[in-house]
A and B are shown apart, each in its own frame.
Chain A
Amino acid sequence: MITFKNVSKSYGSKKILKDLTFSIRAGEFVVLIGPSGCGKTTTLKTINRLIEPDSGEISIDGMNIRSRNPVELRRSIGYVIQQIGLFPNMTVEQNIAVVPKLLKTSKEQWKQIVQEMLELVGMPYEENAHKYPSELSGGQQQRIGVLRALAASPPIVLMDEPFGALDPITRDSLQDEVKKLQKRLKKTIGFVTHDMEEALRLADTIVFMNEGEIVQMASPEEMLRNPASDLIRDFMGRHTNPHSEQPELFAEDLMRTRVLKVPYSLHTLECVDRMNRREVNSVIVLNEDDTFMGTVTLDTVRERGKAGREIGELVGNDVPAIDRRMPAQEAFDLLLSSTANYLVVLNTDQTVAGIVTKTSMAKAMGEALWGAVLS
């Protein structure tokens, strides 16, 4: 358990942290969020004594951290930053083993640790341990950054916008991995972000800060339901709706965007091949200008398809196409009453934005109701 008691910090006459009092339970995933410059990083860094507060007290498991040697304290707390900061002159293995080595772990032991760590994130030892950071992608580098922080089994890990510089897909998968790791290894995590989506997805508790003060400290659900200020409401953006109790959703909020689309001129056999590879039994067919033409199912192909002919000849219109701004409820009714098991969502220019399936709809509604759900 980490406890802040009346912690303050100023630079010159500028108050950066104003009398912070709060605590983080053991095993809790706490996300600090708030506008730029509100003091998130400063708060985080007071925990591993990279920054010393002017007054107040921070204790870990009841012990004032001032009474601890800063270097030893830091070795017992994992630390991950946005710039990653892997040592470029060391291999992946050496980077992960840095803290265990500082703690005088035997070579056998740290080798073992490196193996286990790499396994944890699905990066095979043989393939990765002897690479240098410059030979890894950004996402892989930050995975190693996380592993370096975890290697000495610290009970607490601090992460300052660790995924802020990664592309959205990589960020997604790293968020999942970190959440899983935290649950499995039962870590206490202090995590800074200014992305509410990330906070909702990861946090047990969100601490919303502004100008050096805590505005609200609550579970994601509670914060979605009852944001304590307009600023927080703004941050929630599309996750809440200020005008009604129920979030206002549209078809576009329900859809998934990764769908198989083929041009009408594609040969039937090639089309079947692609459908098999993607394991789908229905495909969206596009006109020459990428607008929506219709759909074709595998069954139709089997009944009427001829090798060498264009797939466009088989197009049917039994799957309803809707506008992306159609209210969610209408889309919901339509999907339930239709014989098709999905809807095609169109942009205003009649190109395809995505599809709504029962699964994508359930997921979106779950998120709207309970905050981000982990799939």
Chain B
Amino acid sequence: MTLMTFMGEQRSEIIKALTQHIHLVVFSVLLGILISIPAGIFLSRHKAFAAPVLAAVGVIQTIPGLVMLGLALILLGTGTQTALAVLAVYSILPILRNTYTGITEVDSGILEAGRGIGMTRRQMLFNVQLPLATTSIVSGIRISTVYIVSWATLAGLIGAGGLGDLIWTGLATYNTNYILAGALPSAVLAFLFSGVIGLFERLLTPRGLKGGRA
């Protein structure tokens, strides 16, 4: 059976898996954003913590997905929530690091001028530093999302569904069609997410930073 006819036959199953996959990616990355951006802001204001925290998060990132998933399984049981938690953890590092560097790389002359004319730290953060860090933060989100699209295939192992389901079924039954039916949409998804977020990245970049007249 060719891949095309297989995919035609299994259309509804593939679409269901794809939808689940998108859910997993979107919600885990959102969760990651909710954690990393405030954390990045915190680190930028308490720089002493920055190096150890970033290093620790970096170490977590290197724990193999399967191990992490196993641990989560023991602690939290099976299901979507466990998968979301694990994926969210993996999405943190790029966003956290980019938020932190985006904020702290704002030119010191700008900071001094802002402080000198009477802006509070909070006003500097919201009116100047965060807008200037937007590009960097969104680019962190893009990197995380692309990662998570592929990490999310692991979720199938703990019964959270997604395109991983198809891939694992294929691997267990030596059925290439299943594997490809999971892998191809996942690749396309990564590509699409990257494109869409890249578009946001350009839209959200403050006009003054784009160089030349917009």
Report which of A78, A88, A148 forms a contact with B209, defined as CB distance below 8 A.
A88
From residue 82 to 138 of chain B, which have CB atoms closer than 8 A to chain A? 107-120, 123, 127-128, 131-132
CB contacts (< 8 Å) of B114 on chain A: these are 85, 87
From residue 132 to 185 of chain A, which have CB atoms closer than 8 A to chain B? 132-135, 145, 148-149, 158
Q: List 21 A-B contacts (CB under 8 A).
A: A71-B119, A74-B115, A75-B117, A79-B117, A81-B109, A82-B109, A83-B107, A83-B112, A84-B109, A84-B113, A85-B107, A85-B111, A85-B113, A86-B110, A87-B127, A89-B208, A89-B209, A91-B208, A133-B208, A134-B211, A145-B113
Q: Does B159 belong to the interface (CB within 8 Å)?
A: no
Shortest CB–CB separation between residue B136 and chain A, in angstroms? 13
Most A CB contacts (10 A, CB to CB) among B107, B117, B206 go to B117
Report which of B109, B115, B118, B208 forms a contact with A90, defined as CB distance below 8 A.
B208
Shortest CB–CB separation between residue A159 and chain B, in angstroms? 11
Contact B209 A79 (CB under 8 A): no
Complex Cα–Cα for A133 and B206 (A): 12
Contact A88 B213 (CB under 8 A): no
Contact B128 A79 (CB under 8 A): no
Complex Cα–Cα for A148 and B119 (A): 13
Q: Does A50 belong to the interface (CB within 8 Å)?
A: yes
Given A85-B107, A88-B132, A91-B208, 7 more A-B residue pairs with CB atoms under 8 Å apart are A48-B116, A71-B120, A81-B116, A87-B128, A89-B128, A131-B213, A133-B208
Q: Does A99 belong to the interface (CB within 8 Å)?
A: yes
Report which of B107, B119, B209, B212 forms a contact with A98, defined as CB distance below 8 A.
B119
Complex Cα–Cα for A128 and B209 (A): 17
Contact B112 A88 (CB under 8 A): no
Report which of A71, A82, A85 forms a contact with B118, defined as CB distance below 8 A.
A71
Contact B127 A134 (CB under 8 A): no
Contact A87 B110 (CB under 8 A): yes
Contact B209 A134 (CB under 8 A): yes
Q: Which of the four size classes fits the interface of chain B?
A: 20 to 34
CB contacts (< 8 Å) of A148 on chain B: these are 117
Q: How many residues of A contact B (CB 8 A)?
A: 33
Contact B128 A135 (CB under 8 A): no
Q: Does B11 belong to the interface (CB within 8 Å)?
A: no
Shortest CB–CB separation between residue A93 and chain B, in angstroms? 12
Which B positions have Cβ atoms within 8 angstroms of A? Answer: 107-120, 123, 127-128, 131-132, 206-209, 211-213
Contact B116 A79 (CB under 8 A): yes
Contact A132 B117 (CB under 8 A): no
Contact A135 B110 (CB under 8 A): no
For A99, the closest partner residue in chain B by CB is B117
The 7 nearest A-B residue pairs measured at CB:
A83-B109, A85-B113, A132-B208, A75-B118, A79-B116, A74-B118, A89-B206
Q: Does A307 belong to the interface (CB within 8 Å)?
A: no
For A90, the closest partner residue in chain B by CB is B208
A89-B128, A90-B208 given as contacts; is B118 within 8 A of A81 (CB)?
A: no
Shortest CB–CB separation between residue A124 and chain B, in angstroms? 17
CB contacts (< 8 Å) of B206 on chain A: these are 88-89
CB contacts (< 8 Å) of B208 on chain A: these are 88-91, 132-134
Complex Cα–Cα for A158 and B116 (A): 10
Q: Does A102 belong to the interface (CB within 8 Å)?
A: yes
From residue 47 to 91 of chain A, which have CB atoms closer than 8 A to chain B? 48, 50, 71-76, 78-79, 81-91
Report which of A48, A84, A102, A135 forms a contact with B213, defined as CB distance below 8 A.
A135
From residue 304 to 341 of chain A, which have CB atoms closer than 8 A to chain B? none
For B208, the closest partner residue in chain A by CB is A132
For A87, the closest partner residue in chain B by CB is B128
Contact B118 A132 (CB under 8 A): no
For B106, the closest partner residue in chain A by CB is A88
CB contacts (< 8 Å) of B131 on chain A: these are 89
Complex Cα–Cα for A135 and B212 (A): 6
Contact A85 B112 (CB under 8 A): yes
Contact B207 A83 (CB under 8 A): no
For A135, the closest partner residue in chain B by CB is B213
Shortest CB–CB separation between residue B74 and chain A, in angstroms? 47
Complex Cα–Cα for A132 and B107 (A): 16
Complex Cα–Cα for A85 and B117 (A): 11
For A74, the closest partner residue in chain B by CB is B118
Complex Cα–Cα for A346 and B118 (A): 54
CB contacts (< 8 Å) of B108 on chain A: these are 83
Complex Cα–Cα for A85 and B132 (A): 13
Contact A79 B113 (CB under 8 A): yes
For B120, the closest partner residue in chain A by CB is A71
Shortest CB–CB separation between residue A94 and chain B, in angstroms? 9
Shortest CB–CB separation between residue A257 and chain B, in angstroms? 34
For A149, the closest partner residue in chain B by CB is B117
Most B CB contacts (10 A, CB to CB) among A75, A85, A132, A149 go to A85
Most A CB contacts (10 A, CB to CB) among B110, B116, B213 go to B116
